Structure 1
């Protein structure tokens, strides 16, 4: 009954803009606090009644009310919260993915300052997963967060990924990727892959049962790639993170056009991109 009263309060506050009934997100939060309800539950209930929290207003033309409600009911894992994962976390939180599982056993060091959006001079030594959780709550308090300041391994993968609709690969080594891809295949979870090296980057999406890029390489793939030599400037991870976040949202919403059986590869030095078939 308390939530129903809150929805009526939201309905009275609604403004019709752009074909939608927009309600103040701050009022959603006040109702949640007053009634001791999770903020995300209030936002989901509002959307189900056709009332859109104002924070999502600019997403509606792309995602729609039903899509936004589906995102808020979704759970996604971000595996690696550094150069790629830090921005993926931010983008998924802003998009309104309702529950984020953040996995990373590393801490920030000074060589992360050039590219990792969560790393500031004041954060050196802080656990990346915990920093990602703090940032998520600061960006969107309606998002539930489950940080795990440890590394994904064969023993914990199933419990960490349980219930996730997608897992985003923001790792920097193939050993951990194999663990992630194997767990996702067993559990029926789509995986969005991203990797960077210097001016180069690549993105692809693997659905359960698909072969991965590591399958094509077999045992010949080294654990680390050419990024050992090229390093990673700030702009390449920003682009790959955005592409990964877009793929993750499309997967969660069941949209067409994902990079399945394909690898989007690009070279920012010469501003060229190509889609490579994986079959």
Structure 2
């Protein structure tokens, strides 16, 4: 009896899918010398769903889960938006995550940043995000790069990346990210927050409709006046993750050539057509 046979022997029917314990799968794979990701991919390819993903099947299906496990996403900025985006992408099962942020946690981050705790003040945001992603999902390969995203670091960061998620708070860095993704044909999910307001959009290769929103001399936006309460980054990060997962799996439609504008003060969601 093979290692896989010992796992599927106790498979459980859950609707149209056959579910196996991801913990039992991991134990058997380790004895066989396989990585958790290799085991989960093999499992899905042979018609069985690891238990940790069973609640995603009705939406993403086994084919979508396979695409996620075989994908790589870069999360640029690991603060209020990026910390939660990374958490959600790890739970979704994106196989490789690259976290980029040159900053460390400080006291002002505690009100809204998922990864910020009193014990982690002074610690690297990017490395903390990577460590948490692998704690959440042992099949995920994650690395944290404590550096600024710029034209010098972009090549190493974006190599082999299928998708980038913009979680930046600097217009200068955001302009560089847009340009570097465009030159490499990498799809980009962009999000921004300020007080009660937020926005989310998707930039596909060859699309420049969002570029005009990055114009201006100031490096920051109105968030310097409004600040950011805890709920706005959580909402926008979730919307960014949804766009990322749809792009990677091919499920649903995305906000290409559009901007979803959110005003939580008046509970208004407006989809703006940019072209």
- Taking structure 1 as the reference length, the TM-score comes to 0.96
Query: Alpha-carbon deviation of 1:220?
Result: 2.3
Distance 2:100 2:222 in 1: 24
Structure 1 runs (4+) greater than 6 angstroms displaced: none
Instruction: Confirm whether residue 188 of structure 1 aligns to residue 185 of structure 2.
Output: yes
Instruction: Confirm whether residue 223 of structure 1 aligns to residue 219 of structure 2.
Output: yes
Contact 2:60-2:251 within 8 A present in 1 as well: no
Pick closer, same or farther for the CA change 1:197–1:146 going to 2, 3 Å: same
Cα deviation digits, residues 218-256 of structure 1 (max 9, x gap): 642521000000000000000000000000000101234
Instruction: Confirm whether residue 254 of structure 1 aligns to residue 269 of structure 2.
Output: no
Query: Alpha-carbon deviation of 1:135?
Result: 0.8
Residue 29 of structure 2 aligns to a residue whose secondary structure is helix
Q: Which residue of 2 aligns with 1:168?
A: 165
Tell me how many residue pairs correspond in the alignment.
275
Pick closer, same or farther for the CA change 1:218–1:131 going to 2, 3 Å: closer
Instruction: Confirm whether residue 28 of structure 1 aligns to residue 39 of structure 2.
Output: no
Contact 1:108-1:126 within 8 A present in 2 as well: yes
Q: Which residue of 2 aligns with 1:208?
A: 205
Pick closer, same or farther for the CA change 1:87–1:187 going to 2, 3 Å: same
Q: Structure 1: 5+ residue runs without aligned partners?
A: none
Q: Which residue of 2 aligns with 1:237?
A: 233
Q: Structure 2: 5+ residue runs without aligned partners?
A: none
Pick closer, same or farther for the CA change 1:172–1:212 going to 2, 3 Å: farther
Contact 1:7-1:45 within 8 A present in 2 as well: no
Instruction: Confirm whether residue 270 of structure 1 aligns to residue 261 of structure 2.
Output: no
Contact 1:205-1:258 within 8 A present in 2 as well: yes
Residue 254 of structure 2 aligns to a residue whose secondary structure is coil
Contact 1:201-1:240 within 8 A present in 2 as well: yes
Q: Which residue of 2 aligns with 1:84?
A: 81
Distance 1:138 1:218 in 2: 35
Contact 2:175-2:214 within 8 A present in 1 as well: no
